[in-house]
Amino acid sequence: MPFSLDASAYRELLKTFLAEDLGAGDITTETTVPSTQRARGEVIAKAPLVLAGIELFAEVFRLLDSAADAEIIFHDGQELAPGQIPARVRASARALLSGERVALNLLQRLSGVATETRRYVRAVEGTGANILDTRKTTPGLRALEKYAVLVGGGKSHRKDLGEAVLIKENHIRLAGGVSAALVAAEAARGRAAWIEIEVTNLDELREALAHAPGVILLDNMSPALVRQAVDQVRARDPLRKIRVEASGGITLASVREFAEAGVDWISVGALTHSAPAVDISFEIEPE
């Protein structure tokens, strides 16, 4: 499904990226390419990929040349084969050369996240489990990386610490235990989208179930143990008001086994912290 991103909303962020790369000015381009030279650049997929960030790519050049014209051929969410051209940009040659690295870095990074997410989503098709991202994102790029996860077919977990309560191992230890943490968390029920607690074994699970949290996170459990845990949750909560999430050490090779264990959510930090950038080139020719 094609997605559309309002790239203009990210202009200030893109300006900071350009400032970082340009420094005192692109002295190579300024000394070798005439200021009056116009050029055309083609984006070319060099590997199979799910496209994400193509509007941001074009916006980089609009910031450097207000007369830049982008022809978007493929949109975010579409799958490309090697050799396909998702976009062409016409602008000042200097703008194309000076913005190339920032534009490509973003496009390769976001398309890499979308492509990796699509692999996980396809691996669990038919199970009813949803693939979720985490907060293991690149500082400054969270909104864009989470957008890329959506493009790939995944869903978003908490966008930030203020959205929901997620009680993890360190919280439990500092609060004095599972029950103590959940009782204290009730104070946030009016402003939290949900209350969730992480458990690492069946004893912690039973203690958590007594408080009926919105979500129970099964952390670093084997698929067999996850299946036992899901059975216990469903026996206690036949109406499925409590969502069950699995996380920790889940790979593309193992994700379906976790999905078939009956969880609702599978959160995968690797979608954003380890997705490889995809191979995309930008070939510039004079006009």
Tell me, yes or no, if 241 is annotated catalytic. Answer: no
Exactly one of 38, 136, 206, 234 is catalytic; name it: 136
Exactly one of 122, 168, 173, 191 is catalytic; name it: 168
DSSP label at residue 153: T
Exactly one of 219, 245, 256, 264 is catalytic; name it: 219
Longest dimension (CA), the chain: 73
> 287, 256, 278, 252: which is closest to 44 by C-alpha?
278
Who's near 247: CB < 8 A, 6+ residues apart? 134, 217, 218, 219, 220, 266, 267, 268, 269
Pairing verdict, β 265-267 and 243-247: parallel
CA-based radius of gyration for the chain: 23
Tell me, yes or no, if 260 is annotated catalytic. Answer: no
**Helices marked H in the chain — which ranges?**
11-22, 27-32, 54-64, 93-123, 142-151, 169-175, 178-185, 202-209, 223-236, 255-260, 270-273
Tell me, yes or no, if 234 is annotated catalytic. Answer: no
DSSP label at residue 215: E
Residue 27 one-letter amino acid: I
Q: Give the residue numbers marked as catalytic.
A: 101, 136, 168, 198, 219
